[in-house]
Amino acid sequence: MSEHVMRPEIHRQAVDSAAFGIVQKPLSARERVFNHGGVRKGLLLIALALLWEGYARLLDNPLLFPAFSSMLEAFFEAIMSGTLPARAWVSVKVLLMGYGAGVFFAAVLTIIAITTRVGTDLLELLTSMFNPLPAIALLPLALLWFGLGNGSLVFVLIHSVLWAVALNTHSGFLSVSPTMRMVGRNYGLTGLSYVAQILIPAAFPSILTGLKIGWAFAWRTLIAAELVFGVSSGSGGLGWFIYENKNQLEIPAVFAGLFTVILIGLAVENVVFRSIEARTVRRWGMQS
């Protein structure tokens, strides 16, 4: 049996925070550079390009697999001659039309879906029916209905964007916390102002995901569609550029076309969507 020793109480005076100045340690230069996501991704890109170059030189078969450097050469050549920018612009224009229309219809459909029960059923039914249907499978029909032209392309783009965006937006709306809904209704908000002021910002992480997926789907569909029916009224897009060059066995130019698709995709993802994210969901602490 050990006697428990009563220890004395301790009292200390807290030091005033003004007395110890600023407590922080500066990051090293290496840490600061590496903290930048763009730098990390840039390094990865360079590594991938080097890998490509090395493998292509090892293979030494420029017809099947041209080196990164010859692809770059073809890329700059096509840019200088003005064909690639023109083709890219044609594609991007159609893409934006289709994407915009798809997002608009998705918004209409989801707003109907959250305000009425029949609307919910309709959305669920339509998305489960049409979401698995590849947009490209609708192209023959579209060509029949809208002819050889942008109309058909926009039609299949809407199909590829609409369901992905609508599905994500709707599930985002459903996951808004009951407390936040009650707060909105407490303010006396109803109908559209309730959707715009409470539901859309609260569901913004899901909506943004939907927009990103929709964007990727739209790109894929567009390039595939252009490969299938190629040129319309004398000015084809990137898909046509790729197809044309393949027929002429200009393989580095084929890669340059693919490279352009990748570049535009990277730019949209890392510049447009990233800055929307930084300004909204990250700033609001809804996403880390």
Partner 1 sequence: MIADARAARDGVGESPLPLLDVRGVTLQYKTSDHLVTATFRVHFQVFRSERFILLGPSGCGKSTLLKAVGGYLQPVEGEIRLKGELVNRPGPDRMMVFQEFDQLLPWKTVKENVLFPLCATGRFSRKAAEQRAMHYIAKVNLTKFADSLPHTLSGGMKQRVAIARGMAMEPDMLLMDEPFAALDALTRRKMQDELLMLWDETRFTVLFVTHSIPEAIKIGSRILLLSPHPGQVKAELNSLPRSGGEADPGALQALEHKIHAMLFADAVEAPTGTGVEA
Q: Would you tell me which residues interact with partner 1 (CB under 8 A)?
A: 177, 179-180, 182-183, 185-189, 193, 197-198, 201-202, 204, 280, 283-286
Cα–chain-centroid distance for residue 116?
A: 30
Residue 193 CB, shortest distance to partner 1, in Å, is 8
| Cβ proximity to partner 1, 34 vs 187, nearer residue | 187
Q: Quick one: tokens of 10? A: 């301790």
Q: 226 with 260: CB under 8 angstroms?
A: no
**Shortest gap between Cβ of 112 and partner 1 (angstroms)?**
22
Tell the smallest beta-carbon distance from residue 115 to partner 1 (Å): 16
Q: Which is nearer to partner 1, 38 or 188 (CB)?
A: 188
Question: CA 161, CA 214: separation in Å to the nearest integer?
Answer: 5
Alpha carbon of 194 to those of 184, 199, 202: distances in Å? 7, 7, 11
Q: Smallest Cα–Cα separation from 138: which of 48, 221, 61?
A: 221
Q: Closest approach of Cβ 54 to partner 1, in Å?
A: 46
d(Cα 127, Cα 173) in Å, to the nearest integer? Answer: 16
What CA–CA distances, in Å, run from 17 to 14, 73, 183, 285? 9, 61, 39, 29
Please give the single-letter amino acid code of residue 27. L
Q: Which amino acid is present at 274?
A: R
- Distance between CA atoms of residues 254 and 258, nearest Å: 6
Residue with Cβ nearer partner 1 (142 or 199): 199
- Minimum distance from residue 120 beta carbon to partner 1 (Å): 18
Is the backbone of residue 89 left (phi > 0), alpha (psi -120 to 50) or beta? Answer: alpha
Nearer to partner 1, 55 or 187 (CB): 187
Closer Cβ to partner 1, 179 or 247, answer by number? 179
Cα–Cα–Cα angle for 218, 71, 96, nearest 5°? 20
Minimum CB separation of residue 111 from partner 1 in Å reads 19
Minimum distance, C-beta of residue 184 to partner 1, in the bound complex (Å)? 8
